[in-house]
Structures are given as structure tokens and as C-alpha cells.
Structure 1
Amino acid sequence: MMPSRLFVLAALASLTVLAPSAVLRAESPAATDTEAGFVSLFDGQSLSGWKANENVESWKVEDGQLVCAGPRSHLFYVGDQAPLKNFHFKADVKTTPGSNAGIYFHTRYQDSGWPKFGYECQVNISHHDPKKTSSLYAVKNVANPPVKDNQWYTQEIIVQGKHIVLKVNGETLVDYTEPDNKQPESDQFTRRLDQGTFALQAHDPDSKVYFKNLRVKKLP
């Protein structure tokens, strides 16, 4: 009978060792990750990988969030993933009443002014500008986004070839295919696909907007 008792004790000991690791695996983000292939663009602690142009003081990191509040400034992504051409981008966004911001893509760093290159995905629930959240600014505009101020929502930007899709909380609000022969709109704005990076916008001193969980997946 002694060998069988030793076998039982050994089996119980092995369960005791394995159980904690099994629990850890169950609680691990990797085990429940439904966003395979996405890479984080923001570490939640600093502006590492990002570069503000004018009015750097308009950007702060608070409680794992990027916060814009102050005079006009654009925060450009300058990390390892840039430049990007085809991609799926996601960010969690929260506006405060009367605020305006934006997410530029296929853009390039510039020292000042409104970004000339690429497109802007609008961030605006209740600002007076009639182009609201998830508008492809001045190209395909949204008037009534299904979100409210002071509530987090997930903004998605998907670019593949000439095709742009903008989603809020999984709902497609813009589906746009750029014409093959599209020319730059003006000397001030191109609003044309090429390749480039992202830029977050601090629009004005009366606007305060929060961003977190910025991530991207490159597409073929």
C-alpha cells in the first residue's frame, strides 16, 4: 500500500504546483487577447515615440491617458511602426463638452500649423463645427455620431489601398474609396492617401480630449 500512497501524494503535489500557473494563464491578457497582430503606440507613462510641434505644453500624460488641453498643437507618432501605408488603427477617445480634436493619418511631421498631408478623422461631439466624430474631415462628414461627451468610445481607422473605413464602437460611419486620379485639394491640404504617420490634434485652449490604448496592425 505504501507505493500507492506515494503516488497519490505525488499527484496532489503536482496539482498544487500547476494550479497557480494555470490561474495565471487564464488571467493573462495574452490568453484573452482578441486583437492579435496589434502593436501598442503609447506606453501609458510618457510621450516616448511621439513628438509635439508647437505649444508642447498642450500635451500631458495622466493616469495612462494622453490628454490634450491648450493652444493648437499636433502630436506626431515618430516610433518604430512609422511610416505606415495599409493598417488597422484603434484608439479609445473621450471628449469633454464643447471640445474639438482630431486623428490624422498618412501625414508627416511639420513644425507648426494644421497638418498639410493626409486625412483627418474628426473628434468632436458637441463643438460648434458641424463635422462630428468619425468624419473623414471635409471629404465624408458625419452629423450625428452615436456617442456622447464624457464617455469613452473606440475609434477605428482602416486603410487598405485606396479604401478608408472609419468606425465608432464597431459601427461603420464612413466607407470611402479615393479616386485613382485624386489630386491635392489645395496648397494648404492634400487630403490624399500616400503613406505616413499619425498625429493627434489639440485644437484650441477651450478643448480637452483624452486618448488611450492607441494601437495599430499593419495590413498587407
Structure 2
Amino acid sequence: MICFMKNNLIVSIQLPLLILFFCSCSLLNADEGKEFISIFDGKTLKGWRKAPKTSYEPWSVNDGVIRGEGKENRLVYLVYSEDENLKNFELKFRYKMVTKGNTGVEVRTRIDKTGKRPFEGYHADLGHVGIGPGVLGAWDFHFGSGTRKEFPCQRGTRLVIDSEGNGKHSPIKDAINITEIKKRDWNDCCIVAKGNFFQLWINDKLSSEFTDHISEGRLESGFIGLQLHDKGMVVKFKDLFLKKL
């Protein structure tokens, strides 16, 4: 999404950056028959819904940006409602933490019938620089109470969960370093969900990944949800693009 500018030099600089953003994490998951589509029109929240219901409006749009502000100590989501049964996909977006806080993107999400959380899902964890590797750039598991073990998968970690429910961790070579994540600025992210394999990329570098070999209780499909975690936090999202695989 490049605006026409009077300064041709600015356009010539931005174009390669945008191309790089689209190409950064598609090499291992290329599907030539599919294209990325924009899932945010830059003006409204058409095609999105907040969940669960709140007493205030946590999500707003201004200048092509989705702004989320937490005013309660509870999990609040902005759900992409055009397709709430997504399975295999790549999701590209940019996010910026305006304050300290915990955010992220829930994928293959469904209602948590046990009541432990509003939803079950695989959670690509994000937050402010300094929040720690267990949040920023990690994968988190949001399973219903008493259903499955929730393994840690910190930034820089590759996790394999075998069919017996055991988890094996190993380091990712050349994973993103905390110094490569911009503080209070825009960071490019890509989430890959393909079968039982999941990746989180930040600024063109792999942050964390996992493979889930447990068939019973594995989340096969669901919706995408942007998350607000904390009271007083402010986060922004823009340039959201989805490609089904």
C-alpha cells in the first residue's frame, strides 16, 4: 500500500522495502497459486469484530492504523470475521508498541469451553522490548483447562511435541536477536500456520517455531485474533495481509 508522493525518491525507496516485506517468509511455504489479500481497509473495522464484549471500545482506526487500548485487566481480541475457520495460511502485518505491554496474535482460535480463558488457540506472542523472551517473539499455548500441557516456546527456540505429548526444545540458528526488534517503532511480522507446523518471523528473521504431533486436541482450524492483554497498554497494527495455503 504505497501512497503517491511528490518526492519520487521516497517512492523509489519504499517500493523495495514493501517487496521485501512480502517475500521475507514465503520461501519455505510458497504456494504460487495463491496471493496475499489485504484484510484491513485502512479506514474502518469492516470484516473485524471485538470479542468478548466490553464496556468500552478497545479498538479504533486512524490514519490507516488499528489502535488497541486496554482499559480493563482482561484479555480482549479483535477477530478477523470474514473467515473464522482458517487452517493453513501466512499472515503478514506490522505492529508497534506505544506503551509497555503484552500483545500478540491468536491463530486457529475457538471458544474455550472450560472457561480458563475466553479462547483456546496457538498464540504468537508480542510485546514491548524488555518484556522478555518468554513473551516477545515466543509461541504460547492457550488450551482449555485439563486438556493439554502448555509448553514454553521462547524466542530463539524450536519446539517439537511428539505423539506421546513430550516436548523437545532446540535453539534456532541465526534467530532474531532482541537488538533487531525496534523499540516503540514498527516491526514487520509474519505468522505461518501449515498443518501441524507453525512459525513466527520478526523483521525477516525467524523468531520461534513449533511442530505439534499430537493429533488429539490439536487445533486444526479457527479464527485470527489480535490481542490486548493489559490495562493501560496501547498497541498499533497496520498493513495486514493474508494468504491461504
Q: Structure 1 length normalisation: TM-score?
A: 0.72
- C-alpha deviations, 1:31-59, integer Å up to 9, x for none? x8674710111111111111102325111
Aligned equivalents of 2:69 and 2:198: distance in 1? 29
> Do 1:136 and 1:174's aligned partners in 2 also have CA atoms closer than 8 Å?
yes
* Worse-matched range after superposition: 42-51 or 65-74: 65-74
1:119 to 103, 118, 122: 122
Aligned equivalents of 1:211 and 1:113: distance in 2? 27
2:78 to 70, 75, 80: 75
More strand by share: 2
Is 1:196 the counterpart of 2:222? The answer is: yes
In the TM superposition, what are the counterparts of 1:88-167 in structure 2 within 5 Å? 88-108=90-110, 114-126=117-129, 128=131, 131-137=134-140, 138-142=151-155, 145=178, 146-167=180-201
SS at match of 1:149: coil
SS at match of 1:141: coil
> Do 2:195 and 2:220's aligned partners in 1 also have CA atoms closer than 8 Å?
no
Deviation at 1:82, TM superposition (A): 3.7
Give the structure 2 partner of residue 4 of structure 1. Answer: none
> Do 2:111 and 2:120's aligned partners in 1 also have CA atoms closer than 8 Å?
no
> Do 2:129 and 2:181's aligned partners in 1 also have CA atoms closer than 8 Å?
no
Equivalent pairs counted in the alignment come to 182
After superposition, the CA RMSD in angstroms is 2.9
Computing the radius of gyration from Cα coordinates, the structure with the larger value is: 1
Deviation at 1:83, TM superposition (A): 1.9
Unmatched 5+ stretches in structure 2 = 1-10, 23-33, 141-150, 157-176
Identity %: 29
In structure 2, the CA distance between the partners of 1:98 and 1:89, relative to structure 1 (3 Å rule), is same
Deviation at 1:128, TM superposition (A): 4.7
SS at match of 2:120: coil
Q: Structure 2 length normalisation: TM-score?
A: 0.65
Aligned equivalents of 2:233 and 2:127: distance in 1? 10
SS at match of 2:119: coil
In structure 2, the CA distance between the partners of 1:151 and 1:198, relative to structure 1 (3 Å rule), is same
Aligned equivalents of 1:195 and 1:116: distance in 2? 13
Deviation at 1:75, TM superposition (A): 1.0
> Do 2:128 and 2:184's aligned partners in 1 also have CA atoms closer than 8 Å?
no
More helix by share: 1
Aligned equivalents of 1:173 and 1:33: distance in 2? 21
